[in-house]
Amino acid sequence: GMSSAKAALEADTRTLAFEAGRRWGVRINAISAGPWASRAASAIGFIDTMIEYTSANSPLPRPIQATDVGHAAAFLCSPLAAAITGSVVYVDNGYHVMGMAVGE
């Protein structure tokens, strides 16, 4: 499911970072965004519940905005991130350190 696909993407990010960095001097990173209200996310039937739950249970209890993800992307593309490659940047208000309770 979703968790195995995310794990594969994170592994590919590390592999591509090594190969593209050595071969072309290109940096490869990934952004793992928490649930946020977008037109694409509206196709997920329970997205509103996911957003409410993560907003209430994250270390930074607030909804994720599109600009939060965009700012992370802009940073990774900027010279400020020149030495960052093979990384996954979590834009989820810290939710990835918490996990979701079983049965919720």
Tell me: the pLDDT tens digits for 57-75? 888 888 889 999 999 999 9
pLDDT band at 39 (very low <50, low <70, confident <90, very high): low
The CATH number for 64's domain is 3.40.50.720
pLDDT at site 17: 98
Alpha helices in the chain (DSSP H): 2-24, 47-57, 66-77
Whether residue 52 contacts residue 100, with contact meaning beta carbons closer than 8 Å, is answered with: no
Report DSSP state, residue 87.
-
Question: Looking at the domain assignment, is residue 98 inside a domain?
Answer: no
Split into its structural domains, the chain has a count of 1
Expressed as residue numbers, the domain containing 49 is 2-93
Question: Looking at the domain assignment, is residue 17 inside a domain?
Answer: yes
Distance CA 89, CA 95 (A): 12
User: 0.85 exceeded by the pTM?
Assistant: no
